[in-house]
Amino acid sequence: SQKIEQNSEALNIQEGKTATLTCNYTNYSPAYLQWYRQDPGRGPVFLLLIRENEKEKRKERLKVTFDTTLKQSLFHITASQPADSATYLCALAQNSGYSTLTFGKGTMLLVSP
Amino acid sequence: NAGVTQTPKFQVLKTGQSMTLQCAQDMNHEYMSWYRQDPGMGLRLIHYSVGAGITDQGEVPNGYNVSRSTTEDFPLRLLSAAPSQTSVYFCASRNSAGASYEQYFGPGTRLTVT
Residue A22 phi, psi dihedral angles, 5° rounding: -115, 140
> Are A98 and B102 in contact (CB < 8 Å)?
no
Confidence of residue B41 (pLDDT cuts 50, 70, 90): confident
Strands A62-67 and A56-59, by their bridges, are: antiparallel
Give the pLDDT confidence score for residue A3 in this predicted structure: 87
Cα B98 to Cα B114: distance, rounded to the nearest angstrom:
42
CB contacts of A31 in chain B (<8 Å) are none
Pick among A46, A51, A52, A90 to test the B interface (most B CBs inside 10 A): A46
pLDDT of A1: 74
Indicate the pairing of strand A107-112 with strand A11-14.
Answer: parallel
Spell out, as residue ranges, where chain A has pLDDT lower than 50. none
pLDDT of residue B89: 98
Give Cβ neighbours of residue B13 (< 8 Å, ≥ 6 apart).
Answer: B19, B78, B81, B111, B112, B113, B114
Helix or strand or coil: residue A79?
coil
Name the band, by pLDDT with cuts 50, 70 and 90, for residue B40. confident
CA atoms of B45 and A69, how far apart (whole Å) = 27
pLDDT given at position A58 = 97
pLDDT value at B97 more than 90: no
List for chain B the helix, strand, coil content (%; round to 5).
Answer: 5, 50, 45
